[in-house]
Amino acid sequence: MITKRDRVVIIGAGVTGTAAAKVLLEYTNVSQVILIEKRSGVAQVNSHPLNNAQTSHDGSTETNYDLGHALRIKPSATALRRYAVSKGDPKLFQKTLRMCLAVGPKEVLLLEKRYREFKPHYPDLHLAYREELARIEPKVVEGRDRSEIISALVSTEGFIINYQELAKHFLADAERDPRFKAVFNSSVKKIVRRDDLYLIQTDSFTISADVVLFASGPYSLLFAQQLGYGTDYAILPVAGSFYSSGEFLRNKVYRVQIEGMPFAAIHGDPDILDMRDTRFGPTTKPLPLMERHQYGTSKDFLRLPLLSTLRGLGSLLKIIWSKQLLTYVIKNILFDLPVIGPALFLREVRPIVPTIRYRDLKLRRGAGGIRPQIVNLKTQELEMGDATLVGENAIFNTTPSPGASVCLGNAHRDAKKIVGFLGPDYYFDEDKFQRELGELPKSA
């Protein structure tokens, strides 16, 4: 009798892990997929709607992405949006405009150049000037000095996504398949490689896996390092807080990226949990934690080589020095303080909504996640975008922003990698994936 050796274990049930489960079950012939999550339900960490900016990024209006980078994430955004639309669930997504606002002639010129370069690849883009902006997003124009020149690069494909609802849909899809099992309230503590198997120890059981996929945020790197992978990497955890302001914006309004800054500038948008509340953020504050507001996770952070090794500390100092991040970080730390925080933050928000007042801004306490930014200890540089390590029959995803936007793209990539690990008897049904979640033909 031939025993099948194809048990895939996924660790972490945020959008990344649940998307991987769904894609493995729907587009491959693996015979067992097990999802292990330490919390009681899906998407309670960075994928929770209170903790991230709820944007489906596709690269077009994100001025921190050049065209090459933008086009690399576009297919992932397409897959996500097609999936969301197919569910027709208003709790899952709301469609608005998404725009990048330019203030002053230098920024206006920059967006005009970007528009010419990006328009052939993103037909949903147009440039809007003061008159149109007054119509589509009045608060951006109200009270603004008439002599101040403004414009916006506008995408009509502005999706606000509740990534926790998305994870619930992925889980429900997976649960329809008898090859799947999800185990909650079980925290993975240790992983070892024995013969051809991985032995995964949780706080309540031990399980073997032929292939393991870590979708556990910064913990993915910690487990990779337990297995000897990714030892040249560390994590700089960058917390992001949000302010509530009441009803101001109808759409997602981003700003032109601050030149040379590795983190996106703050933006404003309606909250999918209450579309009449405009959120502004996220701020950018390094914190020595793996998960926000979970202070016990600091000891796990110290097991990673950023603060606990000389080359980690050297890399951190070099990053802060070379990117001139010190004042920026101090300012962002102050944003979270009472009284002075909203006063300083107001200055960041006014270029978007000139009439906003101090009393409109309320810091959302207990909300906001942590972006696990990857530090390359060899180059002593920050590596932006999502990060994946591949080992022997193992994949480790650490997913800083825009990790949620690319969850289906990552699942597509990882499922193909997994059938590759398993050998010639296994397939990934690419035609079916493209039919269901790929770019629509031009005529459609």
- Using a 10 angstrom Cβ sphere, with 0-12 exposed, 13-18 middle and 19 or more buried, the burial of residue 99 is buried
CB 6 within 8 A of CB 153: no
DSSP codes joined into one string, 146-187: TTS-EEEEEEEEEEEE-HHHHHHHHHHHHHTSTTEEEE-S--
Q: Is 15 in the site for ligand FAD (CB under 6 A)?
A: yes
How crowded is residue 383: how many other Cβ atoms within 10 Å of its Cβ?
Answer: 15
Rule CB under 6 A: say whether 405 interacts with ligand FAD: yes
H or E segment and range at residue 194: strand 188-194
Residue 240 interacts with ligand FAD (CB under 6 A): yes or no: yes
Is 370 among the residues that bind ligand FAD (CB under 6 A)?
yes
Query: What does residue 299 show for φ and ψ, rounded to 5 degrees?
Result: -70, -30
312 or 372, CB closer to ligand FAD?
372
Shorter beta-carbon distance to ligand FAD: residue 169 or 371: 371
Q: Is 43 in the site for ligand FAD (CB under 6 A)?
A: yes
Q: Is 160 in the site for ligand FAD (CB under 6 A)?
A: no
Q: Which of 8, 23, 34, 37 binds ligand FAD (CB under 6 A)?
A: 37
Give me the least distance between CB of 55 and ligand FAD, in Å please.
Answer: 3
Contact of 205 with 224, CB cutoff 8 Å:
no
x/- map, 406-435, ligand FAD, by CB under 6 A: ------------------------------
Task: Tell me how far apart the alpha carbons of residues 399 and 386 are, in angstroms, rounded to a whole number.
Answer: 5
Residue 314 corresponds to which tokens in the numbers above? 């050297």
Residue 198 binds to ligand FAD (criterion: CB under 6 A): no
Of the candidates 176, 315, 347, 336, which has an alpha carbon nearest to the alpha carbon of residue 232?
Answer: 315
Residue in 28, 54, 61, 162 binding ligand FAD, rule: CB under 6 A? 54
Binding residues with ligand FAD: total (CB under 6 A): 42
Nearest to 356 by CA among 244, 248, 241: 248
Per CB under 6 A, the segment of 172-180, 314-322, 327-335, 397-405 that binds ligand FAD is: 397-405
- Tell me which of 7, 38, 144, 285 binds ligand FAD, using CB under 6 A: 38
Cβ contact 100:64 at 8 Å: no
Task: Point out which residues bind ligand FAD (CB under 6 A).
Answer: 11-17, 36-39, 43-47, 51-55, 57, 163, 187-188, 215-217, 219, 240, 282, 368-371, 397, 399, 401-405
